[in-house]
Amino acid sequence: MKIAYILPVNMKKFGYSLDNYLQTHFSVEIAREVAKQGHEVELHVFWDEDTTFTEKNLKLYFYKTDLNIFFHRDFTEISLKLLNKKFDEDTLIHFHEPRRLFFIPFMLKHKNMTITEHHGSGLFNPFPRYSVFRPIFDLLKATSLKHLLNTCKAIIVHNMQAEDSFSSSVKNKSKVFLSPVGIDISNYKMYDKDMVRRELGLGDEITVLFAGRICKLKGINELIDAFEIVKEQHRDIRLIIAGPLQEKSLGKSVEKYWVGFKNPEELQKWFTAADIFCLPTHGGEGFPKILVEALYYDISVITTNVPGIREWLPQESSVFLPPEDVDSLKDAICALMDENRRREMNRNSKQFVLDNYTWEKVCQRYVDIYRSCAQVR
């Protein structure tokens, strides 16, 4: 099969360097995994310049976005070069995020068998703040977008709220597929905890780790507020924040905790060293892969009870909190300072990942969807 992945977002705006993106992003991982199975795979990504890479059966194309004076808000980026690219008739197009404005002209231009994948909680208005494009997108969502979704061969979502949302917008409910994310365990190294803690300059303190895009929607402000309250009562605790600084305005708040955007091997050492992993997201995302990684390293997880997390994470290995609740977050961190409680929570975490969330299992689901779409010509 020939498969073209379309990721119409400038990842550099999210704080990624090219190296970080190629090593860490979900879109690259799934493209590589499918290419490993012998399929011809392309990945097309928005960037701030045009460039290409080739890895065996995988070709990666980066496109400088156009019309930046007008389309510079979130979800509105456009690349005329990608829009005008010609794909072979038998190429399956896998488009990431139909809520992006680019989806509509791209779908109108290309008639290939299209799979679309949604990483949020449904077809609500995507703009995080008021934008002049909001009325335009609302109109398109009510007209063209709904029609184009019905022409898609499959729609992949990562939580039940999104499944319900898309099912209400398409006539054939059976083409909406609910799927988790996964990790390729062959890419993960296990380290000696004591040795790594010494290497990273950690002592005996309890280490709380956050890893992900540094932005308000990930709950970073609540985490810092809760941690600083805990720190007043317990001196033997430390917060580590790792990931791309998406919102530069948070730089001052996170600077004393931030260790930068780590490559996979470095981040795996922080996973090994950490005692508690905390992702107090406000929601609106699919199923964060970072939580699967934390479970794989047997770290006690504190997160929020939002769609995309509550469906997939094991209850016994996680603490679920209401989003934006500093007091609950503070109490959860304090409770997990107890080593026996952490050990009890972590008993089956790694095995849960091996049973459910390896790429071998998850990627096969994608390939099965592709094959079924290829048969419907």
Task: Transcribe 157-188 into DSSP letters.
Answer: ESSHHHHHHHHTT-S-GGGEEE----B-GGG-
Global pTM? 0.85
Contacts of 163 (CB under 8 A, 6+ apart): 157, 176, 178
Say whether both 283 and 168 belong to one domain.
no
d(CA 256, CA 240): 9
Q: What is the pairing mode between strands 114-117 and 206-211?
A: unpaired
Say whether both 166 and 255 belong to one domain.
no
Whether the CB-CB separation of 217 and 74 falls below 8 Å is answered with no
Is residue 146 very low, low, confident or very high in pLDDT (cuts 50, 70, 90)? confident
More confident residue, 241 or 71: 241
Say whether both 67 and 85 belong to one domain.
yes
Tell me the mean pLDDT in the region 151-164. 93
Q: Where are the beta strands (DSSP E) in 99-256?
A: 114-117, 154-157, 176-178, 206-211, 237-242
Tell me the mean pLDDT in the region 132-157. 82
Say whether both 189 and 137 belong to one domain.
no
Whether the CB-CB separation of 237 and 205 falls below 8 Å is answered with yes
Count of domains for the chain: 2
Say whether both 111 and 86 belong to one domain.
yes
Say whether both 209 and 293 belong to one domain.
yes
Say whether both 38 and 132 belong to one domain.
yes
- In terms of Cα–Cα distance, which of 310, 314, 271, 317 is closest to 294? 271
Say whether both 175 and 195 belong to one domain.
no
Say whether both 202 and 137 belong to one domain.
no
Tell me the mean pLDDT in the region 120-128. 67
Angle separating helix axes 220-233 and 326-335, nearest 10 degrees: 50
* pLDDT higher than threshold 60 for residue 125: no
More confident residue, 333 or 147: 333
Q: Give per-residue burial for 124-154: e unless 16+ CB within 10 Å, then b.
A: eebbeeebebeeebeebbeeebeebbeebbb
Say whether both 162 and 250 belong to one domain.
no
In this predicted structure, what is the pLDDT of residue 269? 96
d(CA 53, CA 177): 31
More confident residue, 369 or 127: 369
Say whether both 28 and 155 belong to one domain.
yes
Tell me the mean pLDDT in the region 341-349. 90
In this predicted structure, what is the pLDDT of residue 92? 94
Report pLDDT digits (tens) over 206-240: 999 999 999 999 999 999 999 999 999 888 999 99
* pLDDT higher than threshold 80 for residue 329: yes
In this predicted structure, what is the pLDDT of residue 376? 58
Query: What domain range is 46 assigned to?
Result: 2-182+358-375
